[in-house]
Amino acid sequence: MKKTSTRLADGRELIYYDLRDDQVREAVDHRPLERTVTTSEIRRDPLLGDSIAVASHRQGRIYHPPADECPLCPSRDGRLSEIPDSSYDVVVFENRFPSLAGDSGRCEVVCFTSDHNASFADLDEEQAALVLEAWTDRTSELSHLPSVEQVFCFENRGAEIGVTLGHPHGQIYAYPFITPRTALMLRSLAAHKEAAGGENLFDAVLERELAGERVVLEGEHWAAFVPYAAHWPYEVHLYPRRRVPDLLALDEAARTEFPKVYLELLRRFDRIFGENEPPTPYISAWHQAPFGALEDFEGVNRDDFALHLELFTIRRTSGKLKFLAGSESGMSVFINDVPPERAAERLREVAS
């Protein structure tokens, strides 16, 4: 992998990740852009104890442009985009309309391929491995920013999810706090460790799931299952068999196997509802240990956390979506329409 860092016309950082070590990146962003001005602000809810970002400048972000005006395609034929070069393998750049900025963190866009009509599932294993390298490198770099406590790599896919740009891409959020979801896991981890004589909760969950009926697929270094208490109609958790806290800690064997396993999962998701259905909308989310202090979670350290990927869709059956209504949105009590055992069975049925 070759990494080349440059700057866009408004000062934002852009990084090319190339498969070839001899690739030269010298294209200049000639757009007449003014410096990006953001108004991101973090506010803490005194009742719930969580934090939200207020980012009014995002109202002006690009919304469902036609394919020939996509800002994530390379700059070609006189049309200038967010990527100055005429081609790329993988590219990462600072979001022009970030939810988090400055002392409030950082938001980046990850373009998986220059092919506008592709999806992550269409990538070959070499390209998917390059995306993994980009995720890992950005996790490392962002973790060293003074304001950052947690790094979150994710992909939103599909208009039903709320995606406004059709080009295959994901995002990275670098939060200035430990997110509520991760805090819940850390509290459960600490409580279990104390109650179970030091046993690691993630290890116990993985062992139990792999001995049960909700396993979707297994590799030598990775395993995927539908969790016992899945929140979403079709939800899969992908774990490395050797517990590590973050992407940086994956060994070479796990990195080598990941593309094959992950691409198979994504391709199965697209077959859940039948060959004639549109591509399955999904969210794919990496859970990594925070880089900030963990003094609020007594007895827990970073190495107790288990890196894992959560992949789920809001489509519950052909032509029907799972909406978060009163119980889910009002009380955070999910109601799942698809039994996790049936979801796992279906995901095994649609294997390649």
Determine whether 306 is exposed, middle or buried from the number of CB atoms within 10 Å of its CB (0-12, 13-18, 19+): buried
Q: Which of 30, 57, 169, 221 is catalytic?
A: 169
| Helices of type H across the chain | 125-143, 180-195, 201-210, 252-269, 331, 340-349
Residue 117: count other Cβ atoms within 10 Å of its Cβ.
Answer: 10
Contact 312, 236 (CB under 8 A): yes
Strand bridging mode 234-240 / 222-225: antiparallel
Alpha carbon distance, N-terminus to C-terminus of the chain = 29
In angstroms, the CA 181 to CA 1 distance is 33
**CB contact set of 154 (below 8 Å; sequence gap of 6+):** 170, 171, 172, 173, 283, 284, 285, 286
| Helices of type H across 1-117 | none
Is 237 one of the catalytic residues?
Answer: no
Helices (H) and strands (E) in the chain, counts: 6, 15
In angstroms, the CA 185 to CA 223 distance is 20
Strand bridging mode 150-157 / 41-44: unpaired
Q: Over the range 89-111, which residues count as b (16 or more CB within 10 Å of their CB) and which as e?
A: bbbbbbbbbbbbbeebbbbbbbb
Tokens of 158: 């599909």
In angstroms, the CA 116 to CA 109 distance is 15
Residues assigned a catalytic role: 169
